[in-house]
Every structure is written in C-alpha cells, then in structure tokens.
Structure 1
C-alpha cells in the first residue's frame, strides 16, 4: 500500500511549484526560437493545432488549448494581422468562426519543426522517459480538470 505525500506549506515540497517552474523554464527556452519566426508561445500552440488539422473553429481551438474565446480572439487577430491565418464566419453557423492557415502560415511549419527538435535535444530524455513524463503530465491535467 502506497502512502500519500505529507501535506506541507514548504514551497519546495509543492508539486504545483515544480510544474510552474518547469513550465516557465520551458517557455523561456522556446522564446528566442519563437521570436525568430515571429510567434509567441500561445500563437505557436494555435499554429500547431492548425498544422495538424486546418479549418478549425475558435471553439475547437479553445477546447484543445484550455483557453476561452476572450483569450483566444486577440491572439487569433494578431495571427491574422501577421498574415498567418484567416478568420471567416462559417456559412452553416454564423455564430461560429473558422480559422484557416494562409500559405505563409503553412510555410512556417518546417521552421517550427526544427524548434521542436531543439527542445527535444535540450531535454535530453530518451523515448521512454519522454513518453513517461508526457503521460504523467497528462494524468495531472486529467485529474485536476475532472469534475
């Protein structure tokens, strides 16, 4: 039988702080590479979803990224201004906005894949470690968002 960790008010004992620090370190590592291609980290996440599947609604993107439309809309407006995506009301539902890649947005994918490779190298985890860490983080997300 496993025991739960003891409750603590010490910062270094907190899983939330370890996740926070790791997240900040990760996004800081991304920043100069993303600056070079003109994207912020949240914009990069949106672009990755569109590279996976083009023509998604704002709602679909928000659900996948855990972002509300109030946060996502200005971000998408900046991507539109940069010429990377287009935003169009869907014919079948005027309330819904479809986000699509432009040619410039599609062309950015190769440069972004190189960024992913650099991050993988910086982490220096083998495939099993990488998969295990990702699975554990997904478990944390699932448990913290369960209703």
Structure 2
C-alpha cells in the first residue's frame, strides 16, 4: 500500500546532499570507464595525483590531502606497491612514519593520465570556465562544511 508523502517531508531532488552524491557517482562512472587504461582504480588515481604533485610524502600527508585516514589508505597503498607504482619505507627520522615514493612506473603513468582530462571535460559538456567556477564553489562549500563541523 502506498502512503502519501507528507508535505513537510523533504523532497529528495531538492536536497543539495543528494545532488552532490549522485553527481559524484556519475563522475566516478566516467573515470571508471577511463582508468582501466592506466590500471588504476579511482582512489588509486587520486593518490597518484597527489604524488605527481609532490613525491615522497608520508601516509598522513597523503591522507590529509585526500581527506582519508591511514586505515583507509594503508591497504590501498599496499596494493599500489604490489603493482609497482609506489614504494613504502619507514622514515629514518621517525620510524612511525611511512614515506610513499613513486616508482619509475608510477611516474611514467603521469603522461598517460594527462590524456584523460580532455575526455572528462568532454563528458561534462561544460566549458573550462564553467568547470573552474563550479570547482571553486565546491571547494568553498567543503571548507564551510568542514569549518562548521569543527574539522
């Protein structure tokens, strides 16, 4: 039996959280179609992007950049090490820290990954200016939400 919805109940399609969530899923589907060419999953791709910007980072540095904890990153990094994309080594100054470094194979993927960006832009059917503006708005929104949550 169908129960009529209350007029005070929020409509799903009117919710910002659902628009963000469903758009994120759609974006990941686009990447899921492209990343097998690189042999990467989307989370691995994000780690690689961080390391392509700056190599030789601690697990906690990568986690801070990606908003992930080490318990989430460690198994991911172990798989990437098994794929010979990165190496992990204890820091000499503080053995509690693990330094993640790109291998030559991991560095070589950077040029191939750069070829994905035009395909992703094309999938959005947006201009570079529109994407840049939207990204900037989302970054501001994330900052405001994190500030509100005390993060």
Do they superpose with TM above 0.5? yes
Contact 2:90 2:98 in 1 (8 A): yes
Q: Deviations over 1:28-84 (max 9, x none)?
A: 010021122111100000000100111010000000100000000000000000000
Paired position in structure 1 for 2:138: 137
Give the TM-score normalised by structure 1: 0.92
Q: CA deviation at 1:8?
A: 5.7
What SS does the corresponding residue of 1:88 show, helix, strand or coil?
strand
- Which position in structure 1 is the counterpart of 2:3? none
Separation in structure 1 between the aligned mates of residue 121 and residue 93 of structure 2, nearest angstrom: 41
Where in structure 2 are the equivalents of 1:58-77 lying within 5 Å? 58-77=59-78
What is residue 24 of structure 1 aligned with on the other side? Answer: 25
Whole-angstrom CA distance in 2 between matches of 1:103 and 1:82: 12
SS at match of 2:48: helix
Where do 1:4-23 residues align within 5 Å? 9-23=10-24
Give secondary structure in 1 for the equivalent of 2:95.
strand
Q: Which runs of 4+ in 1 moved over 3 A?
A: none
The aligned residue for residue 37 of structure 1 is: 38
Aligned to 1:3: none
- Match of residue 118 from structure 2: 117
Shift of 1:131: 1.5
Which blocks of at least 5 consecutive residues in structure 1 are unaligned? Answer: 1-6
TM value normalised by structure 2: 0.90
**What SS does the corresponding residue of 1:95 show, helix, strand or coil?**
coil
Aligned length: 141
Q: Tell me how far apart the structure 1 counterparts of residues 135 and 71 of structure 2 sit (CA, whole Å).
A: 28
Give yes or no for contact 1:8–1:14 (8 Å, CA) kept in 2: no
Superposed CA RMSD in Å reads: 1.2
Deviation at 1:144, TM superposition (A): 1.2
Moved more, 35-44 or 68-77: 35-44
